[in-house]
């Protein structure tokens, strides 16, 4: 192998590290032909954990590496949100059994098909764009923390020495979770999580409420925050927040919240205990 080809291979292996993956599309865009990739696989430098995607032989297939590959390598505007973001932030014991191991991704573009074909303990669930109309910012290494913060996002380090991942803050993740609630079990879960949300930032909550398109998510979020009498709620600026009109029946036979006009299960206290 020539020095040039060795340098090219070393650049690729350096890019991959121990946990990153690259797609056939990425390889082609960076000058690695199909025949060259096949040679790397045949020589034992690369392995293919699923059709159309490659990683370094001996590398570790981990969910963190998959997400980092999507965000940084593939340039996809997908962030960790909802249930899984809250689990990462230490609230997994409030989640329904099995939900903490489901990695919830939000963004305008669906993850590539190879993501669901990877043999991993965790599974990925794409939840769509989510309830917000905020303009997206690219998740490049040089994106400012303020630019992410304005989206209700932040860098999250999953472990010492691991690449940081773009993740929803607690404020955004709770609204994403509320947007997905469709039954009493979902309300119980959201209520238990909201009880722990004692340090949410009212200005960020206000920003996200103004840019949230889901009336249900906003009403449920505010009703649960009111139910737990969080101190930050009185400081949330609600000017410009559209809460819609009329009553919303989230659960049949529920109890109507007098302020936010949404029905909540009457036995919330029993489930919280």
Indicate if the alpha-carbon torsion angle 139, 153, 193, 187 is positive or negative.
Answer: negative
Q: Which ranges constitute the DSSP H helices of 180-263?
A: 184-195, 202-210, 215-227
pLDDT value of position 1? 57
Unique residue bearing structure tokens 């699923």: 50
Start-to-end CA distance of the chain, whole Å, equals 67
Helix axes 202-210, 170-179, angle to 10 degrees: 40
How far apart are the C-alpha atoms of 172 and 245, rounded to whole Å? Answer: 23
Q: Which ranges constitute the DSSP H helices of 196-244?
A: 202-210, 215-227
Domain locations along the chain = 3-60, 64-169, 172-272
CATH class as words, domain 3-60: mainly alpha
How does pLDDT run along the chain (273 residues), one tens digit per residue? 566 777 888 899 988 989 999 999 999 999 999 999 999 999 999 999 999 999 999 999 999 999 999 999 999 999 999 999 999 898 876 665 555 578 999 999 999 999 999 999 889 999 999 999 998 888 887 888 899 999 999 999 876 656 789 999 999 999 999 999 999 999 999 999 999 999 999 999 999 999 999 999 999 999 999 999 999 999 999 999 999 999 988 888 889 999 999 999 988 888 775
């Amino acid at each position: 192998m020539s020095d040039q080809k060795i340098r090219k291979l070393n650049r690729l292996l350096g890019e991959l590290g121990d946990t990153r993956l690259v797609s056939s599309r990425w390889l082609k865009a960076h000058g690695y032909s199909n025949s060259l990739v096949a040679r790397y696989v045949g020589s034992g430098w690369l392995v293919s954990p699923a059709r159309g995607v490659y990683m370094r032989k001996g590398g570790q297939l981990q969910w963190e590496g998959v997400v980092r590959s999507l965000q940084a390598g593939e340039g996809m505007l997908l962030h960790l949100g909802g249930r899984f973001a809250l689990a990462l932030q230490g609230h997994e014991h409030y989640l329904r059994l099995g939900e903490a191991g489901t990695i919830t991704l939000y963004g305008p573009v669906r993850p590539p098909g190879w993501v669901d074909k990877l043999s991993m303990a965790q599974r990925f669930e794409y939840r769509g764009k989510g309830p917000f109309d905020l303009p997206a910012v690219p998740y490049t290494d040089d994106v400012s923390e303020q630019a992410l913060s304005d989206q209700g996002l932040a860098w999250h380090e999953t472990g010492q020495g691991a690449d940081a991942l773009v993740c929803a803050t607690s404020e955004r993740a709770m609204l994403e979770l509320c947007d997905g609630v469709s039954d009493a079990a979902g309300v119980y879960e959201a209520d238990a999580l909201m009880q722990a949300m004692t340090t949410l930032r009212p200005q960020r909550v206000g920003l996200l409420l103004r840019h949230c398109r889901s009336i249900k998510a906003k009403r449920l979020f505010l009703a649960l925050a009111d139910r737990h009498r969080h101190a930050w709620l009185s400081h949330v600026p609600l000017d410009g927040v559209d809460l819609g009109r009329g009553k919303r029946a989230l659960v049949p036979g529920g109890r109507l919240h007098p302020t936010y006009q949404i029905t909540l299960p009457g036995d919330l206290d029993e489930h919280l205990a």
